[in-house]
Amino acid sequence: MSIRYGHLPTAGPSLNGPRLARRVVVLGASFIGLEVAAALRSRGIEVHVVAPDKQPLGRVLGPQMGDFIRTLHEKKGVVFHLEEIASSIDGNDVKLRDGDTLAADFVVAGIGVRPRTGLAETAELATDRGVLVNSFMETSMPGIFAAGDIARWPDPHTGDNIRVEHWVVAERQGQTAALNMLGKGEKFTAVPFFWSQHYDVRINYVGHAERWDEIVVEGDVAARDCLLRFKSGGRVLAAASISRDIENLMIEVAMEHGMAAS
């Protein structure tokens, strides 16, 4: 997930008045929150990140990459308040659950989203943390299709029904849904992928692993030259890499052809 910011957010007199914003609190330590934190620190803004997680991105990228990302951001001046949440926001004060208060000129909330399934439920479509579709992006109601962030589809690579919030997946699913509206009968088999930029470090991710029982690390994470394979039952479900673009692409091709990526 990559985001580019051409200007700082503006909201309220403290940003539009005679002085620029200098202090920001970011709620959430996943991709959105940390990419915002990196963009703001690059502009010299003081950034505090508040999140309930034990380490940033650990649930998605595992402990090795999570530790690396935390160190990377801390070296750039980001202050983490982990295993913590904001209990209230009052003016320029963000009060934490433990009683501490952080001053902020503005607050960025990157705490995740929930799919809005109300319309689908009213139409009596099958839902499960999203709108359920088959391999052709067709819902439980023949002739009605869903694609993008809201669609949960049978992933042939993991064998699970998954939902991915990324524009590349949405774009490809929309193309497949459109073809099938025209009767082409094309299955959606693309391998999900995304990238995330943190200062001068780009993390590439291919596949989808909501859980794993083993992470195989090749190279040196701290040296920014690594490939991590997320495995379940000995099978590679996903891979994350830094400075290993060719290997990352090879894993994607192997997944597309149903071959082992180990």
On the question of pLDDT at 229 being above 70, the answer is yes
CB 132 within 8 A of CB 120: no
- Please report where in the chains the tokens 């869903």 appear, as a residue: 146
CA-closest candidate to residue 43, choices 16, 73, 28, 22: 22
DSSP-based three-state secondary structure for 122 = helix
Sheet containing 101-103: which strands, arranged edge to edge?
86-90, 93-96, 101-103
Supply the pLDDT for residue 21.
Answer: 86
Supply the pLDDT for residue 20.
Answer: 80
CB 47 within 8 A of CB 24: yes
Q: What would the pLDDT profile of 47-74 be if each residue is shown by its tens digit?
A: 999 999 999 999 999 999 999 999 999 9
Supply the pLDDT for residue 12.
Answer: 37
Domains of the chain in sequence order: 15-109 (3.50.50.60), 118-181 (3.50.50.60), 193-256 (3.30.390.30)
Element holding 257 (H helix, E strand):
none
User: What sign does the CA torsion over 165, 116, 86, 48 have?
Assistant: positive
Question: Which phi and psi angles does 142 have, rounded to 5°?
Answer: -55, 135
Q: What would the pLDDT profile of 166-211 be if each residue is shown by its tens digit?
A: 999 999 999 999 999 999 999 999 999 999 999 999 999 999 999 9
Residue 213 burial (10 A CB sphere; 0-12, 13-18, 19+)? exposed
DSSP-based three-state secondary structure for 260 = coil
Amino acid at 99: G
Alpha-carbon gap, residue 131 to 118, rounded angstroms: 10
Question: In 76-209, which ranges are continuous DSSP H helix?
Answer: 118-122, 167-181
Supply the pLDDT for residue 4.
Answer: 31
Alpha-carbon gap, residue 150 to 129, rounded angstroms: 8
CA-closest candidate to residue 127, choices 135, 113, 116: 116
pLDDT, the chain, mean:
90
Q: What would the pLDDT profile of 64-118 be if each residue is shown by its tens digit?
A: 999 999 999 999 999 999 999 999 999 899 999 999 999 999 999 998 888 999 9
Alpha-carbon gap, residue 227 to 221, rounded angstroms: 8
Residues 6+ apart with CB under 8 A from 120: 127, 131, 139, 146, 150
Alpha-carbon gap, residue 249 to 239, rounded angstroms: 10
Supply the pLDDT for residue 10.
Answer: 37
